[in-house]
Structure 1
Amino acid sequence: MPTPHLKNIYCLCIIKLSKWLMLIMPVVALFYNENGLNELDIFLLQAIYSISVAILEIPSGYMADVVGRRTTIILGSILGTLGFVIYSVSDSFVGFLVAEIILGIGGSFISGADSAMLFDTLAAADLKEKYLSFEGRITSLGNIAETIAAIAGGVIAGLLSYRDVYIAQTVIASVAIPAAFLLQEPLRQASHRTSSMREGLVHILSVCKTSLFVNPKLSSALLFSSVTGIATLCMAWTAQVYFVSNGFEELTITPLWVVLNLTVAFFSGFAAKTQKIFGKRLSLLIIIFYIPFTYILLGILPVIPAIFFLWIFFAARGYATPVLKDMINQNCDSATRATVLSIRSLIYRVGFAILGPLIGWIAANSSLSNALVIAGSLLLILSCITGYNLYRLAPENFKD
């Protein structure tokens, strides 16, 4: 592989590490509780983050297609660092709210642009068919980073304080800034250049129309991937609330989070091989049925067996992310790829912004168990509908 392309992959790995080296994850719910927040507040904050991402999701993806992936990733890296700076000095819902909005805007600039940069870099090096392997390995690297971060975050919290974990997180987030500046824009299909904001908006709407209604293979993959994204994103926060509601402290949550993230890392790193072993059909059926059904299992089972099934969920999540991204990438062109991936992110983040607070509200007014069963039932219905739609419009994805 040529040196410029290799450098891009190294820089994308560093950016992924800075995003996924999340020291805060084992203590985030505990930190919120320490500052007087309850379950509904936690889900509201994360919903606001998702809405912040969603508002600029498609415009930022379009900006990545027109202005360049590198520029948008640089902006996202700077805002991501600023968000954690604000978190480090805040102690109220309002302060956390401002931090989440800035983090959300920063996340929207990186979301889609990083995967598009990877795919175009490989395409420029005539290695487009290797995207699934590289996406899986980079995703795996991110999960390994999150595993290491879980240990480090637990140690920092134990020796110092929960707030010191957020200060350390700020330092890690800042590492993405120089890595983003070192990226080089790969040669790719010419982007649609516009002379006015109106033309730009028209083109964005055109890409949305094509992605969701005109191209059946792309639309079916996009909708199914988005529903799966809602389920996996929501579980990342639901699991934290579940642990705390069952009386777990950082000494228990940390090793659990380590195991779960190592599981995601392993199956992400071997996504292509996992799909080959299980076959395309069985791999997709597991995603369709098991991922949403795990919510119901958490709601009805005792803690120990529930955690075992949660482990299987994280294994399925590991290979689901790169497999579904690859399915989308194979059905769209490079000139609109970041926009298309941003449409996916927009859908699942809006979905999370609705489902997350719903879980928090039901948990606060009834019980977490009831909230999990209701959420799982809704997700299972949506997953079956979009999964069948994928089978109907793009049956080759189910053929071994």
Structure 2
Amino acid sequence: MSDAATVNHAARRVQAVYFTLLTGNTLAASLIWGVNTLFLLDAGLTNLEAFAANAFFSLGMVIFEVPTGVVADTLGRRMSYLLGTVTLAVTTALYYMLWVMHSPFWAWAIVSVLLGLGFTFFSGAVEAWLVDALTATGYTGSLERVFGRGMAVSGAAMFIGSLGGGAIAQLTDLGVPFVLRAVILMLMFIVAAFVMRDLGFTPAGRAHPWQATKRVMRESVKYGVRRPAVRFVMFASFFTTGVGFYVFYALQPYLVELWGDPNAYTIAGLAAAILSGSQVLGGLIAPWVRARFRRRTTTIMLSLVVSSLVLVAFGITRSFWVAFVLLIVWGLVDAASGPVQRAYLNDMIPSAQRATVLSFDSLLGSAGGAVIQPVLGRSADIWGYPGSLILSGGIQILAAPFLWLSRRQHPAADVAGDLQPSADAPADIPLSGEGDRG
């Protein structure tokens, strides 16, 4: 059956809301992505301090991932999203003030942790809201197609935001994109308050928050950490997400360095814009890529190997235009496999625990960012960006054994192509917990 036949009016509306939220969030975030590292360096931080500030952001995500995931699973995905927009708007404004005052590193560390809190309200919640709402509206098409279109939509927003942020910084100063970001986030709060409703999921409510938290956490461990196929994918995130954080922000000053003009902020914005364009194309071809292989893990593992080799090539080249091409390839590979990995993980998690388990996956990725970014930032101070990018490729490939171990569990989600029609646990999850020690 074609996807056109499996999408009714209610499901189309759910997707429209999801794409709207993605567009607004990504536009707001991407205004600073192209200039963030330059912004931190302009505030007087060293490479080590700049990436340590990013690491504190990741640390904030580690600290708050599970608690905010519990918020989404008990008070609702909509409430979690609204809290996220407000928190991010306020902390973005604080970031701008730190830049104005050339504040000491400890102040950047504190606000970075609070920025991480804002993002944890988003992670898992919006994705869980989408999957639950699609199930409730009778959608039976493939998750890859929805996630792929979402990636294309957010990629287009990222393209506009990244180029716009770099151009705005070039015409004004490095702080203006941060101010605009805070404004857009508040506008998204208003939009979400009117259009976002929890469908297919009834929040546990406020009557017994401690009992609800214990129940959600207990079941999340059961369906996440104690399930090998899920656990190993989450362990892989420690390396892939940790390296991804560093590379994304390191490529901004590196491309400016290869260009030869330290004040070429537009080039930094172009780097993020190139990735956004690759994301659009990669998101659109994700269903096609998925169809080329019987198992989802084949796509995920191949993309990991290619991505790691590209990072090594980044470190070897000294040509701006070669790096330009490598950036496109890196973005395409990651974007094409991203929806596949997200669909693989979602298909192994039941609805009631989805937001918290996805948040725990994000937690491990953030932990990787907290540990790996300062290491790679220090390596950039010692060996320059080329040496740090080669090291990045070596660290990222360490995720491969964990993905292989997940594959070896033979979960039904590895060969699934469509959305699970039930909000209950997939059939291959042992509900008793007794048979899940492999």
Common topology (TM > 0.5): yes
Q: Is the 8 Å Cα contact of residues 289 and 383 (structure 1) preserved in structure 2? A: no
CA change 1:80–1:128 in 2 (3 A) is: farther
Which position in structure 2 is the counterpart of 1:208?
221
Are 2:70 and 1:68 aligned?
no
Are 2:312 and 1:301 aligned?
no
Are 2:36 and 1:28 aligned?
yes
Tell me, in whole angstroms, the C-alpha distance in 2 between the residues paired with 1:289 and 1:368.
Answer: 21
Q: CA deviation at 1:227?
A: 3.8
Are 2:254 and 1:237 aligned?
no
In terms of fraction of residues, the more helix-rich structure is: 1
Between the two proteins, the alignment pairs up a number of residues equal to: 398
Q: CA deviation at 1:49?
A: 0.8
CA change 1:83–1:244 in 2 (3 A) is: same
CA change 1:175–1:130 in 2 (3 A) is: farther
2:302 to 270, 282, 286: 286
Are 2:259 and 1:259 aligned?
no
1:270 to 285, 296, 311: 285
CA change 1:211–1:27 in 2 (3 A) is: same
Q: Percent identity?
A: 22
Which amino acid in 2 is paired with 1:325?
Answer: R
Which position in structure 2 is the counterpart of 1:90?
98
Tell me, in whole angstroms, the C-alpha distance in 2 between the residues paired with 1:227 and 1:357.
Answer: 14
Which position in structure 1 is the counterpart of 2:199?
186
Matched position secondary structure for 1:129: coil
Q: CA deviation at 1:74?
A: 0.8
Tell me, in whole angstroms, the C-alpha distance in 1 between the residues paired with 2:301 and 2:212.
Answer: 41
Tell me, in whole angstroms, the C-alpha distance in 1 between the residues paired with 2:38 and 2:211.
Answer: 46
In the alignment, structure 2 segments of 5+ residues that lack a partner are: 1-6, 418-438
Q: CA deviation at 1:117?
A: 0.4
Summarize the alignment of residues 119-158 of structure 1 with structure 2, pairs less than 5 Å apart: 119-158=131-170
2:25 to 19, 26, 41: 19
Tell me, in whole angstroms, the C-alpha distance in 1 between the residues paired with 2:396 and 2:68.
Answer: 28
Q: Bigger shift: 308-317 or 118-127?
A: 308-317
What is the RMSD of the two structures over their aligned residues, measured on CA atoms? Answer: 2.7
Cα deviation digits, residues 81-104 of structure 1 (max 9, x gap):
111221232222455444423321
Q: Is the 8 Å Cα contact of residues 34 and 166 (structure 2) preserved in structure 1? A: yes
In the alignment, structure 1 segments of 5+ residues that lack a partner are: none
Which amino acid in 1 is paired with 2:197?
Answer: Q
2:393 to 351, 376, 382: 376
Which amino acid in 1 is paired with 2:279?
Answer: V
TM-score when normalising by structure 2: 0.83
Q: CA deviation at 1:225?
A: 4.8
Summarize the alignment of residues 334-345 of structure 1 with structure 2, pairs less than 5 Å apart: 334-345=351-362
Which position in structure 2 is the counterpart of 1:110?
122
Tell me, in whole angstroms, the C-alpha distance in 2 between the residues paired with 1:147 and 1:203.
Answer: 38
Tell me, in whole angstroms, the C-alpha distance in 2 between the residues paired with 1:36 and 1:72.
Answer: 34
Q: Is the 8 Å Cα contact of residues 147 and 257 (structure 1) preserved in structure 2? A: yes
Which position in structure 1 is the counterpart of 2:420?
none
Summarize the alignment of residues 300-339 of structure 1 with structure 2, pairs less than 5 Å apart: 300-303=316-319, 304-339=321-356
Q: Bigger shift: 218-227 or 169-178?
A: 218-227
